[in-house]
Every structure is written in C-alpha cells, then in structure tokens.
Amino acid sequence: MAGSRQQAREILPLRHQPLFPHTMIHQILKDRPVKLFIILAGIFITNALVAEFIGGKIFSLESTLGLDPVSFSLLGEQGLSFNLTAGVLLWPVVFIMTDIINEYYGVRGVRFLSYLTVALISFAFIAAYSAIQLTPAPWWIGANAEKGIPDTQKAYAQIFGQGMWIILGSITAFLIGQILDVFVFHRIKAMTGEKMIWLRATGSTLISQLIDSLVVIFIAFYPQGWSLPKILAIALVGYAYKFLVAILITPVIYAVHGLIERYLGHDLAAKMKRSAMGSEKHQ
C-alpha cells in the first residue's frame, strides 16, 4: 500500500499533491515572479517605514551640500530655504519601487503593498507611542547626562513621538499619492505602450508627489493655525526637491528595469507586463 501511495504521488501533478512547509517554501523561492515580488515588497515597505521615523529630523539641504543657505520668498512667505525632512532621503527608493511594481504587477500589486504599508506604519507608530508611555527606570533617565542629554526619557519621546496631525497627514498623503501614481502611470502607458518608460515613471511620480506634498502639510499644520499661503509655500519648497530627484533617478529606473528583464527573461517579463496592464482594465 505504501508503495502504491508513493507511485500515485509521483504520477499526480504537483498542484494536486499535499504540500508540506519545506515543499511550499521551495516552490515559492523557485518561482521567480513571486520571489521578485517579495524582494520588491521588502524594499518598498522598509524604506517607507524607515522614512517615517527618520523624518523627525529637519536638515538644511544647502549646508549639507557645502553651500550657503539661500533665502527667498514665495506666495508672500519670507525667509524660505531648503530645510527638508530627513525622510526625503529614502522616498526616491519608494518612487522607484512603485514604478517597478506598477510595471510588472499592476494596480493590484501596488494597492496591496500600499494598504499593507499604511497598516504597518500605523502599527509602528502605536508601538512607539506605547514604548514612550512605559515608566522609565530611574537610572536610565540620567544615563546619558555626560553626553549632553540630561533626560533620556524626554529625548526618546521627542525622537520617536510625532504629533497626531503629522502622523495622520503623512499616512493619508502616502495613500493618496500611491493611488494617484498607479492611475496616472497606467493611463500614460495605455497611450504610449512599452515605449517611453521615463514618461510614465517620472510623469506619474511628479503628479502624485505634488498632491502628496500638499496633503501632508495641509493636514499636519492647517489645524495648528497655518495660513493657506504658508502651507502652499512650504509644500512647494518640498515638492521642488522631489521634482528634481524624480528627474535625476530616471536612469536608475532604466537600470533596475534592465536587471529585472535579465532576471526574469524577456518572454516572462513581457507576459507579466501584459498581465499588469490587463489587471488595470478590470479595476
């Protein structure tokens, strides 16, 4: 009987055979599109999540580049300069991942990862808030006094804690920006086909990030009494940086496309891209 069962397993196609954990993971890792999606998803989620937490630091772009800070006015707001959140260092990676996932996995792929990322970012903020509320050990509060940090608990809360409006604005802007990026990307691709990768990748990023920049500043600071001209001015300064970066990373997008095409093979890559466009039509 045992021999008969073994022969039956060998005859039946794999999909009809019982899959044990070690068999399942082996099949997943052998499936290149699935393995690629896992890698892209990991890079996408990690960079979006880390960007939220390092975004608490504001840096001077000019000084970082060794230049004298500029001062200009916009929409009546005086003394503006390129003071940016540190999160902008990682958002270009998210832009690239969004375009790549758009290209090969379509609307559903990007939306799934966007919703998952929002859930994970929300969880991370809840975890950070909970950690801040824990009663610190008395010795730990002054443990870093010699390093110029008299109250470690307050420093910890300042670094990991963010205002509720800022958190809400950031998550909302991210989700709106991703949904808009998907929409614009596929509309451009429907008109241009496989040509002009730069147009659909850069064009969708430029449009979605304009809305993202406006939404995050409006939700985060309008309730705190900022005027609309000030909100627009600050948002446009941040968008100017994103605009420049979106243009500069265009060669990187082409390079990543080349790597993926070689990894998947031309025929499989072409099939995935057709499927991605087909899934968009059924949304």
Q: How confident is the model over 54-87, as pLDDT tens digits?
A: 888 889 999 999 999 989 998 888 889 999 989 8
Q: Which residues pair with 72 in a beta bridge?
A: 80
| Mean pLDDT confidence for 192-202 | 88
- Per-residue pLDDT for 225 more than 80? yes
- Which pair of structure tokens corresponds to residue 226? 């900022």
Q: Which residues pair with 59 in a beta bridge?
A: 84
Q: Are the beta carbons of 99 and 119 closer than 8 angstroms?
A: no
pLDDT at 11: 40
Q: Are the beta carbons of 181 and 103 closer than 8 angstroms?
A: no
Q: Are the beta carbons of 176 and 218 closer than 8 angstroms?
A: no
In this structure, is residue 11 part of a structural domain?
A: no
| Mean pLDDT confidence for 170-174 | 92
- Per-residue pLDDT for 178 more than 60? yes
| Confidence grade of residue 8 (pLDDT, cut at 50, 70, 90) | very low
| Distance from C-alpha of 237 to C-alpha of 229, rounded to nearest angstrom | 12
| Mean pLDDT confidence for 189-206 | 89
Across the chain, what does the average pLDDT equal? 87
| Between residues 158 and 41, the one the model is more confident about | 41
pLDDT at 278: 76
Q: What are phi and psi of 226, to 5 degrees?
A: -70, 140
3-state SS class at 59 = strand
- Which pair of structure tokens corresponds to residue 200? 């659909």
In this structure, is residue 12 part of a structural domain?
A: no
Name the E strands within the chain: 58-60, 72-74, 77-80, 83-85
In this structure, is residue 170 part of a structural domain?
A: yes
- Write the DSSP string, 111-174: HHHHHHHHHHHHHHHHHHHHHHHSPPPHHHHTTTGGGT-S-HHHHHHHHH---HHHHHHHHHHH
- Which pair of structure tokens corresponds to residue 146? 């010699």
pLDDT at 18: 57
pLDDT at 14: 46
Nearest to 183 by CA among 93, 105, 107: 107
pLDDT at 163: 74
Q: Are the beta carbons of 233 and 281 closer than 8 angstroms?
A: no
- Per-residue pLDDT for 6 more than 50? no
Look at the chain and report how many structural domains it folds into: 1
Q: What is the pLDDT of residues 119-165, one digit of tens each?
A: 999 999 999 999 999 999 999 999 999 999 999 999 999 888 877 78
Strands 58-60 and 72-74: what pairing?
unpaired
What is the distance, to the nearest Å, from the Cα of residue 92 to the centroid of all Cα atoms in its chain?
8
Q: What is the pLDDT of residues 263-280, one digit of tens each?
A: 999 999 999 999 988 755
Nearest to 55 by CA among 142, 144, 173: 173
- Per-residue pLDDT for 283 more than 60? no
pLDDT at 19: 57
In this structure, is residue 218 part of a structural domain?
A: yes
pLDDT at 56: 83
Residues contacting residue 261 through CB under 8 Å, at least 6 positions apart:
269
- Write the DSSP string, 190-246: HHHTTS-HHHHHHHHHHHHHHHHHHHHHHHHHGGGT--HHHHHHHHHHHHHHHHHHH
Percent of the chain with pLDDT over 90: 63
- Per-residue pLDDT for 236 more than 60? yes
pLDDT at 162: 78
In this structure, is residue 105 part of a structural domain?
A: yes
Whether the model pTM is above 0.75: yes
In this structure, is residue 111 part of a structural domain?
A: yes
In this structure, is residue 98 part of a structural domain?
A: yes
Structural domain boundaries enclosing 146:
30-281
Q: What is the pLDDT of residues 23-35, one digit of tens each?
A: 778 787 888 999 9
| Length, in residues, of the chain | 283
